[in-house]
Amino acid sequence: MSNIRAIRGMNDILPDVTPSWQYVETVIGSLMASYGYSEMRMPIVEQTDLFRRGVGETTDIVEKEMYTFLDRNEESLTLRPEGTAGCVRAAIQHGLLNTVQRLWYTGAMFRYERPQKGRQRQFHQVGAEAFGVASADMDAEVILLTARLWRELGIAEDVQLQLNSIGNAESRNAYRDALVAYLRERVDALDEDSQRRLASNPLRILDSKNQETQAVLDGAPSLVDFLDEESAADFSRLRELLDAAGVAYSLNPRLVRGLDYYNKTVFEWVTDRLGAQGTVCGGGRYDGLVEQLGGKSVPGVGFAMGIERLVLLLEECGQLPPAEASADVYVVSFGDSAQTEALAAAEQLRDALPGLRIVQHNGGGSFKSQMKKADKSGARLALIWGDDEVAANTVSIKPLREQNNERVGQQSVARAELEQTLRALLAV
Ligand code: ATP
Ligand code: MG
């Protein structure tokens, strides 16, 4: 029988890697709290219509990347490909949008893409959404939050901020017409995807990775020249705020982002250290989305970042914390009554010294084999119980690591003094 393996593009995150994820998650969690963002947890499965309406019919995601299926009740459901639509759906449904609302979430997202480094079919995002403020101070806030994250993770030098404004719907329509007119005259020089998009979603052509298409775009009209007054004013205020805060950015007039719901500010944090999958974080303003999903007209701005890419980048930059041993203390014992003692003592220690990682040897074995396991665990101390210890009501403590370049010898302490001795030896 052939072995069952994980689905292509859906990776196991193994124990040697989870500490890196936990580190990133911990830093992000406290950063979000420090800006007043509250965590939300939404379902992984939603009605397919949510994404059709929320992400946009002609986006890559909806056209070809969604995991969509009929449930047993013949209802069309989709594994969430991104978090904003679900977050907005939940915020409307539970009446969270009557006031300014700062929310964040993290979790698995699903897109049927070609798997490669930094691109999976199940991947993980952290996202934040700020609702209820239409002015550029809120755009600045979410960007400053991300900038602080890079500093806290030690990668501020390795990511660059790209910024653009795509204006309101009217200015975008006017620009779209001008762009389409320009490109129609040069349609043969466009790649196949872009030719298709000329009819369905021409702004996405700006995003094309094809070099010939990019060359055609060099002469194309620029979105900046079509910006409505309000968007232009907001954009210059945002830049003022970022300048004052010392956040560097470059203007990228071709930055449009893949999702339909954006207006005004769009931004991406990119790195050149991850090859083709260089966008670590993307976001922008989406003032029409809440209404489009059935809520009142409430402006919003937010971002999402890919945790896989972030962890890869931290690794690439040597900014992951060093691997830690999984135990502080390893408990070994010989014979039933010794094991009974050892188990009770380990429980008492967990009560008395919370946070201390105590691994108990289970399954018996020779002194040599148990001590080998103790050593391999990375623990600093082994606690040893045998017949002698049980008889004398003591426990032997064996240091497993050198301290200040010397290894202290084994000592025997009275059972009643174990906790005190450990406190002193481990400085806890
Ligand atoms: P890309 O252009 O790389 O496909 P995108 O514009 O589709 O990215 P968004 O929908 O903006 O990405 O998602 C925000 C972030 O989530 C991305 O910047 C990236 O870090 C991450 N991300 C998106 N798709 C994937 C994926 N398939 N695998 C891993 N991370 C992803
Ligand atoms: Mg994509």
Query: Residue 405 pLDDT > 90, yes or no?
Result: no
In angstroms, the CA 338 to CA 387 distance is 6
Q: Write the residue with the smallest CA distance to atom 9 of ligand 1.
A: 282
Query: Counting atoms of ligand 1 from 1, which one is nearest the CA of 309?
Result: 20
Of 143, 132, 149, whose CA–CA distance to 265 is shortest?
143
User: How high is the pLDDT of residue 201?
Assistant: 87
Compute the distance from residue 101 Cα to the ligand 1 centre, in Å: 25
Which ligand is closest to the CA of 255, given by its number?
1
Query: Counting atoms of ligand 1 from 1, which one is nearest the CA of 277?
Result: 3
Query: Counting atoms of ligand 1 from 1, which one is nearest the CA of 118?
Result: 29
User: What length does the chain have?
Assistant: 428
| Each residue's pLDDT tens digit, 266-296 | 999 999 999 999 999 999 999 999 999 999 9
- Angle ∠(208,262,42) on CA atoms, nearest 5: 110
Compute the distance from residue 313 Cα to the ligand 2 centre, in Å: 18
Query: Residue 407 pLDDT > 80, yes or no?
Result: no
Q: Are 397 and 411 in contact (CB under 8 A)?
A: yes
* All domains of the chain in start order, with CATH: 18-168+228-316 (3.30.930.10), 329-426 (3.40.50.800)
Which ligand is closest to the CA of 81, given by its number?
1
In angstroms, the CA 306 to CA 118 distance is 9
The CB-based long-range contact list for 23-27 (8 Å cut-off, 24+ gap) reads: 23/320, 23/321, 24/153, 24/307, 24/310, 24/311, 24/314, 25/106, 25/126, 25/307, 27/149, 27/152, 27/153
| Each residue's pLDDT tens digit, 377-397 | 999 999 999 999 999 999 999
Q: Is 184 helix (H, G, I), strand (E, B) or coil?
A: helix
User: How high is the pLDDT of residue 404?
Assistant: 67
User: How high is the pLDDT of residue 413?
Assistant: 97
Compute the distance from residue 306 Cα to the ligand 1 centre, in Å: 6
In angstroms, the CA 344 to CA 19 distance is 29
Q: Write the residue with the smallest CA distance to atom 29 of ligand 1.
A: 119
Instruction: Give the whole-number percent of the chain exceeding pLDDT 90.
Output: 90
Task: Give the predicted TM-score (pTM) of the model.
Answer: 0.93
Q: Is the dihedral of CA 14, 20, 26, 32 positive or negative?
A: negative
Ligand 1 pocket, 282 CB below 6 A? yes
Taking residue 301's Cβ as centre, other Cβ atoms within 10 Å add up to 28
At 2, the pLDDT band (50, 70, 90 cuts) reads confident
- Distance, first Cα to last Cα, the chain: 52
Query: Residue 409 pLDDT > 90, yes or no?
Result: no
At 111, the pLDDT band (50, 70, 90 cuts) reads very high
Q: Are 179 and 167 in contact (CB under 8 A)?
A: no
Taking residue 60's Cβ as centre, other Cβ atoms within 10 Å add up to 20
Compute the distance from residue 364 Cα to the ligand 2 centre, in Å: 52
- Give the mean model confidence (pLDDT) for residues 160-184: 94
Q: Which of 13, 80, 116, 125 to mutate to test the pocket of ligand 1 (most atoms within 8 A of CB)?
A: 125
- Give the mean model confidence (pLDDT) for residues 66-75: 98
Q: Which of 277, 310, 311 to mutate to test the pocket of ligand 1 (most atoms within 8 A of CB)?
A: 277
Q: Write the residue with the smallest CA distance to atom 26 of ligand 1.
A: 119
Q: Write the residue with the smallest CA distance to atom 31 of ligand 1.
A: 306
Ligand 1 pocket, 309 CB below 6 A? yes
User: How high is the pLDDT of residue 299?
Assistant: 98
| Each residue's pLDDT tens digit, 9-63 | 999 999 999 999 999 999 999 999 999 999 999 999 999 999 999 999 888 899 9
Averaged pLDDT of the chain: 95
Ligand 1 pocket, 235 CB below 6 A? no
Ligand 1 pocket, 305 CB below 6 A? yes
Ligand 1 pocket, 82 CB below 6 A? yes
Compute the distance from residue 316 Cα to the ligand 2 centre, in Å: 22
Query: Residue 122 pLDDT > 90, yes or no?
Result: yes
Residue 373, Cβ density class (10 Å: 0-12 exposed, 13-18 middle, ≥19 buried)? middle
More confident residue, 428 or 105: 105
Compute the distance from residue 279 Cα to the ligand 1 centre, in Å: 7
DSSP letter for 42, please: -
According to DSSP, the β-strands at 279-285 and 329-333 are: unpaired
Ligand 1 pocket, 304 CB below 6 A? yes
- Give the mean model confidence (pLDDT) for residues 352-372: 96
Compute the distance from residue 258 Cα to the ligand 2 centre, in Å: 7
